[in-house]
Amino acid sequence: VQLQASGGGLVQAGGSLRLSCAVSGRTITGRSINGYAMGWFRQAPGKEREFVAAISRSGGLSTRYADAVKGRFTISRDNARNTVYLQMNSLNPEDTAVYYCAAVYARTQSVVSNVGGYDLWGQGTLVTVSS
């Protein structure tokens, strides 16, 4: 499975961006992409990678958000397009970071919010919010 994140860019404070994470391939065990729980993380310069949002496998019935983005960001998945999205509204300069999408095969509808819980990562897309 490969993850390709896109949609980053430069935006003014108060603006919006939508990040996309395209998922391709299938593991050697034949696991469906729909069986993967997905997450978004971010890493600002000089800081550790931190959790942003996560969504459960398949229908994505369960989601979780970091307190810093709750009410402003929305994670969703379109299994037909093999894509996970992160809609980011009311952006502020503190949201500036490289954003990474991540995946882990899940047998339940659990959401995963820790870095160590994922074993597949995309390359990251840079989001810069100017004041």
> Tell me: the pLDDT tens digits for 75-127?
999 888 889 999 999 999 999 999 999 999 888 888 999 999 999 999 999 99
pLDDT on residue 28: 46
Where is pLDDT greater, at 49 or 26? 49
Q: At a CB cut-off of 8 Å and minimum separation 6, what does 63 contact? A: 53, 54, 55, 56, 75, 111
Express each pLDDT in 50-60 by its tens digit: 999 999 998 77
